[in-house]
Amino acid sequence: MKASNKTIVITGGGNGMGREIVLNLLAKGARVIAVDVNETALQQTAKLAGDKAGNLTTAVLNITDKAAVEAFAQQTITTTGGVDGLINNAGIIQPFVKVSKLDYAVIERVVNINFYGTLYMTKAFLPHLLQRAEAHIVNISSMGGFLPVPGQSIYGATKAAVKLLTEALHAELMETNVKVSVVFPGAIGTNIMANSGVTSNMPKPEDTSKKPVLTPMPPVKAAEIIVDGMEKNKFRIYVGNDSKFLDFMYRVAPGFAINFIAKQMKSLLTE
């Protein structure tokens, strides 16, 4: 589905990769509804939109609130006259700790945002999308959705759930007008840790004494890959060579791949 002249809703549009997807879509001539829980972040996205801001609408929404999501969907459909695309980008990571040390409150927050938020948005918009001449759903999973990462077990489980949900949607909707894509970003240079309320001993950019575990891709490049994949109706969209490589390795030699990533991530894991 080409972005031009389409109306597309995106969650997590206030910063990071979500913000860059918003700006990319606007540049391609789309009308965008950017959703985020952070109003200040949305205002910054609108400011960065510049002369394209006239095609941007922002909405503060807690995607874990099912009733609020359903009300938002109905209001958006009525106000815009029709929505053609949904990009479920919002997500958070967990603290870099083992499951045994992870609080239930943190677990529930990660599950609610990453999985239920995606599910609620999809359920709320899908009946309408099925009535459009052409429509597309893009769900952001993660490299951690197909490869287990120590210290991100719950995050990975939610992204694996998003992966399977999206794959099942693809199968269910194959004979409809709604295309479905699942995205597997590798390391992306965003502020997801700060937005998730997470700290770690990951090296800071100015710390040249420590080699980064993975070289992050700039979010503007990640956004370009995702939007391009949507426009080409790709089912699976891999963002970054790390994602492609580890997906291949996990298929060929899962034990080796797990040991490899465990060694790479060991320094970030809090006991």
Burial class (CB in 10 A: 0-12, 13-18, 19+), 133: exposed
- CA–CA separation, 180 vs 75, rounded Å? 23
- CB within 8 Å of 75: residues ≥ 6 apart: none
159, 113 Cβ separation under 8 angstroms: no
Greatest alpha-carbon span in the chain: 56
- Sheet with 236-239, strands from edge to edge, namely 56-60, 31-36, 7-11, 85-88, 135-140, 178-185, 236-239
CA 82 vs CA 25, 75, 223, 230, 249: distances in Å: 17, 10, 24, 19, 42
Residue 155 bears catalytic tag: yes
What is the C-alpha to C-alpha distance for residues 100 and 103, in angstroms, rounded to an integer? 8
Compute the distance between CA of residue 220 and CA of residue 188 in angstroms, rounded to an integer.
10
Tell me the backbone φ, ψ of residue 98, rounded to 5 degrees: -70, 160
Q: Which of 104, 116, 120, 155 is catalytic?
A: 155
CA quadruple 225, 228, 230, 233: dihedral sign: negative
Q: Which residues are catalytic?
A: 155
